[in-house]
Structure 1
Amino acid sequence: MVIPERTPLADLSLLAVDLETSGLDPATERVLAIGFVPVDGFRVPLGGARRLLVGGDGGPGAAVVIHGLTHDDLATGRPLPEVLAELRAALEGRVLLAHHAPFDVAFLRAAFGSVGEELPDVPVVCTMDLQRRLLTRGGGELPRGALRLWRARDRFGLPPVRAHDALGDALACAELYLAQVAELGAAGTLTLADVRRREPSLLRRLRRRWRRWRWARRRSRVRAGPGVSGGSR
């Protein structure tokens, strides 16, 4: 489903997403938990909120000191393909919303790629980008740490919530987005085109070309069947 760029934010459907991961590198680490909550226009319907744990043999990783997820927690998780299928369904017809979206998008691309699929091609809105835009409107330098989720929320007087929990962070991102667009749109009606994250055109083309190559390579491996090597990486 293509979401028109001219869609007013009042009519826009988003899905605020946050991940907890075993580390910082999507090439070597894995997704442990996904939290998401829908944003319908300027409402956050909590009935659609979910926190999904991903099972597996990798354990919580070195980032356990941050996210606090244990082996026992992850033992109750579901297989990654099931978790991603639920996320895909939740994203249908929605814009992906995240704080520091490149991090979450990179891990989601790697996760979908690991099960032979592609991350749904949806528009992305990043609350970190919006915060930078708000803080630099009058020129000058950004204060140290001003773009962190909790510092950004403090600026709007939003209450503290539990940090480094996938669902808590997704909800925190959704609330921050509503505060940001209220300030950004004070002078007029905003649309998706006004807030969506954009990559440089050359980088976007290279990403698409790389994803098509990887997708074709995976399909050729599946058709070849087991026991046939795809070559070294």
Structure 2
Amino acid sequence: MVKTLLTRYIKRRQLLAQNALSQRYLVIDLELTGLDPKQHEIVSVAWVLIDNQCIKMSESQHFINKDVKSLEQSPVFHGISNEAITNGLSLNSILKSLSAHFNDCILVFHNAALDWGFLKVALKQANITTRPKLILDTLHIEKKRLLNQSTEIKQDDLTLKACRTRYELPSYHCHHALTDAQATAELFLAQCHQISCGKKLKVGELT
């Protein structure tokens, strides 16, 4: 047990010292029926690959979970119908596809506490024990950046839309897991270049 923990610690330290701009990232977004992973469900999962600062939309994926028991009021936000649910995939198969990337990609979310919170519960229920190399959060990166500039952070200043506006990125009106994953990927790259200022950027500077 101690040896395993020590190995993980060393690998993490080595990863944090590496060049952030040459890494592979998997940017993930979920659509949910609510905010509590103990009560609510994952409706859909989407991810976008970033490899060497390039967003690989041709390798992106979007899956709808056919195991959803009740959409409740969530279709108002994500527009996914019961018919789409019927034609979806099992959550276990979606999670297997997702976790296959954990060994070679750093995971990126906007508000990791929410989405990774749901995924942790789902992965445990599916008996998938693969651990991600590292998790980064564009919301946390932006909050840290603003605080370093002594900028007052107001309510809604850290939403995905507000963060993108700060970097003059275009607005995406469609609320969809794949669109939001792409939007988060673009934001992440913009943050990396803003923080690096043309110099080498270590992965640890984004945590």
Using the size of structure 2 for normalisation, the TM-score is 0.88
Q: Secondary structure at the match of 2:170?
A: coil
Q: Which residue of 2 aligns with 1:123?
A: 134
Offset at 1:22? 1.3
Offset at 1:140? 4.0
**More displaced, 101-110 or 57-66?**
57-66
The Cα RMSD (Å) is 1.7
Query: Separation in 1 of the partners of 2:198 and 2:82?
Result: 50
Query: Separation in 2 of the partners of 1:194 and 1:64?
Result: 38
The reply to whether residue 94 of structure 1 matches residue 94 of structure 2 is: no
Label 1:57 to 1:42 Cα distance change in 2 as closer, same or farther (>3 A): closer
Which of the residues 31, 34, 54 maps onto 1:20?
31
Query: Separation in 1 of the partners of 2:67 and 2:195?
Result: 42
Query: Separation in 2 of the partners of 1:57 and 1:11?
Result: 37
Per-residue displacement from partner, 1:71-99 (whole Å, max 9, x unpaired)? 11111110111100110113331001010
What percentage of residue pairs aligned between the two structures are identical?
24
Specify which structure has the higher proportion of strand.
2
**More displaced, 73-82 or 118-127?**
118-127
The reply to whether residue 181 of structure 1 matches residue 192 of structure 2 is: yes
Query: Separation in 1 of the partners of 2:70 and 2:169?
Result: 34
The reply to whether residue 74 of structure 1 matches residue 85 of structure 2 is: yes
* Amino acid across the alignment from 1:80: L
Query: Separation in 2 of the partners of 1:26 and 1:136?
Result: 30
State how 1:218-229 maps to structure 2 within 5 Å: none
**CA contact 1:20–1:164 (8 Å) conserved in 2:** no
- Larger radius of gyration between Structure 1 and Structure 2: 1
Query: Separation in 1 of the partners of 2:168 and 2:47?
Result: 22
Per-residue displacement from partner, 1:84-128 (whole Å, max 9, x unpaired)? 011011333100101011111100011112222336233011000
Q: Secondary structure at the match of 2:80?
A: coil
**CA contact 2:66–2:88 (8 Å) conserved in 1:** yes
Query: Separation in 1 of the partners of 2:123 and 2:84?
Result: 22
Query: Separation in 2 of the partners of 1:162 and 1:92?
Result: 33
State how 1:1-233 maps to structure 2 within 5 Å: 2=11, 4-118=15-129, 120-186=131-197, 188-196=199-207
**CA contact 1:13–1:94 (8 Å) conserved in 2:** yes
Using the size of structure 1 for normalisation, the TM-score is 0.79
Label 1:42 to 1:187 Cα distance change in 2 as closer, same or farther (>3 A): closer
- After the TM superposition, list the runs of 4 or more consecutive aligned residues in structure 1 that deviate by more than 3 angstroms: none
Query: Separation in 1 of the partners of 2:68 and 2:107?
Result: 29
Q: Secondary structure at the match of 1:176?
A: helix
Offset at 1:40? 1.1
Query: Separation in 2 of the partners of 1:69 and 1:33?
Result: 9
**CA contact 2:96–2:128 (8 Å) conserved in 1:** no
Q: Secondary structure at the match of 2:18?
A: coil
Structure 2 spans left out of the alignment, 5+ residues: 1-7
Per-residue displacement from partner, 1:176-216 (whole Å, max 9, x unpaired)? 001111111116311111113xxxxxxxxxxxxxxxxxxxx
